[in-house]
Structure 1
């Protein structure tokens, strides 16, 4: 019984480490995408937000294989990434102007 408890605790600890690793990867990707979006916005007058959202909606309408819940989830995450980019851009400008 004692060994079973130890095995369960070890598995739970590994799951916790894996979850933290995945969270760190996701946050790093979010910041990288935010930086890329800010750079692209400065280099080009296209509105990236509308382009990305239009691409997702167009792709979802092109096939009946996509579930609306999956499309909504994807749009939610895209909008989160775009919000992070906007936050970084606005706060970066505020800090630059404050110096």
Structure 2
């Protein structure tokens, strides 16, 4: 019984470590995407936001393979990433000014 508890605790610890690793990867990707969006905006590519959102909506309407809940979830995450980009840009301007 003691070994079973130890095994369960070890598995839970590994799951926790894996989850933290995944969160770190997602956050790093968010910051990278924010930097890329800011750079693209400076290069006069002002329509990236609209292009990404339009592509998702168009793809979701093109077939029945996409569940609306999946599209909503994807758009929610895209909007969160875009919000990170706006936040980073605003804070960068505040720091410069």
Tell me the TM-score normalised to structure 2 length: 0.97
Unaligned runs of 5+ in 2: none
- Whole-Å Cα distance in 1 between the matches of residues 76 and 7 of structure 2? 37
**Deviation at 1:64?**
1.0
Aligned to 2:46: 46
Calculate the aligned-residue CA RMSD, in Å.
0.7
Aligned to 2:64: 64
Equivalenced residue count is 97
Return closer, same or farther for 1:15/1:45 CA change in 2, 3 Å cut-off. Answer: closer
**Deviation at 1:50?**
1.0
TM-superposition CA deviations, 1:29-88 (whole Å, max 9, x none): 000000000000110243221111111101111111100000000000000000000000
